[in-house]
Amino acid sequence: MNQRPMTYRLDFDHPPADPVPVFKAWFDEAELLPLPNTNAMYLATVDADGRPSARTVLLKSFDDRGLVFFTNRRSRKGLGLETHHRAAILFHWDALDRQVRVDGAVTHTSDEESDAYFRSRPRPSQVNAWASEQSMPVKSREALEAAVQHIEARFAGAPIPRPPHWGGYRVALDAIEFWQGDKFRLHDRIRYTRQDDGTFVVQRLCP
């Protein structure tokens, strides 16, 4: 059951041709929820051996080119994306009884985009991006904190540059699906599939 009223109602029988304004409207409403991290999204990747894995990352920007997040490119998800340049994403906003699914090709953001976002992060987060070999084994919490102290000393009194192994990924909107919950599991679903000319084929789906 919805916990707050919604102001944007998607007409699933007569949807707009462009899904980006729909996503923006849904995302803007989600951000008004009294909950942390409404920009959290589940990211699914496949490794070199074909094994899938999923985790939560934070959406940092979006436009008609796709959805952007940032991470260590030597992490498990980073290595998977460097091998198979595709990913699936899921947003779930339970308070709105809504989900959005995205499937698409994955590319690096530009160095300029990655640098700009890294500079916007708190300094401790910048330090930790250098100190943590994400997804790799670590002997103890003490060893992890020692790595942090080493990086703090290395860059003491100076700006911290973006690590060469850290940056953004953009997941293209090759397919984007909107799901609105309804009574007795008779939900509304619609999928946009991008064509070679950039337009979208739109299909209503059974729940």
Catalytic annotation, pick one of 9, 51, 185, 189: 185
> 63, 152, 161, 71: which is closest to 119 by C-alpha?
161
Q: Clarify whether 185 is annotated catalytic.
A: yes
Residue 117, C-beta contacts closer than 8 angstroms, at least 6 positions apart: 60, 70, 168
Q: What is the DSSP string of 123-186?
A: HHHHHHHHH--TTS--S-HHHHHHHHHHHHHHTTTSPPPPPTTEEEEEE--SEEEEEE--GGG-
- The pairs formed by 107-111 with CB atoms below 8 angstroms and a separation of 24 or more are 107/169, 107/170, 107/172, 108/167, 108/168, 108/169, 108/170, 109/68, 109/70, 109/167, 109/168, 109/169, 109/170, 111/167
The SS3 assignment for 71 reads: strand
How far apart CA 69 and CA 73 sit, in angstroms, is 11
Active-site residues, by number, are 185
